[in-house]
Amino acid sequence: MTILILEDEPIIAVDLEEIVQDRLRDDVVVASTLEDGLRFVKEHGRDIGFALLDLQLGRDGSTSLPVARLLMRAKVPFCFVSATTESIPGDMQSIPYVCKPFEPEEIEAVLPVAA
């Protein structure tokens, strides 16, 4: 199983990757742009067991919502990790989320979903 991390801030991406690798033995793939995230899901969607998605990506106003919708259609569990959780749309209010800044324990708490 592969864990997808979609995060545009390199330091946060590294932190998330380390937390996941310390907790699970799964492969971890980090994408930093919406385009990279979409490409990975389209090409490897069957291999993804769980994803951590930053809601706001970059300064151009793009979000991870297109990736989230693909994951929902594929029934792949995921969690938002974002400082802007108030921007999560109504149809995704049941999706778990962790607010930034986060503690490692908060990320670990959502990972058993993927185990």
Q: pLDDT: is 61 or 19 the higher one? A: 19
Going by pLDDT thresholds of 50, 70 and 90, the confidence category of residue 113 is low
Domain count, the chain: 1
Domain holding 33: CATH number? Answer: 3.40.50.2300
The domain containing residue 33 runs over which residues? 2-113
Q: What is the pTM of this model?
A: 0.94
For residues 9-35, one letter each, b for 16 or more C-beta atoms within 10 angstroms of the residue's C-beta and e for the rest, the string is eeebbebbbebbeebbebebbbbbebe
Give pLDDT, residue 28. Answer: 96
Mean pLDDT of 25-44: 96
Going by pLDDT thresholds of 50, 70 and 90, the confidence category of residue 112 is low
Give pLDDT, residue 59. Answer: 85
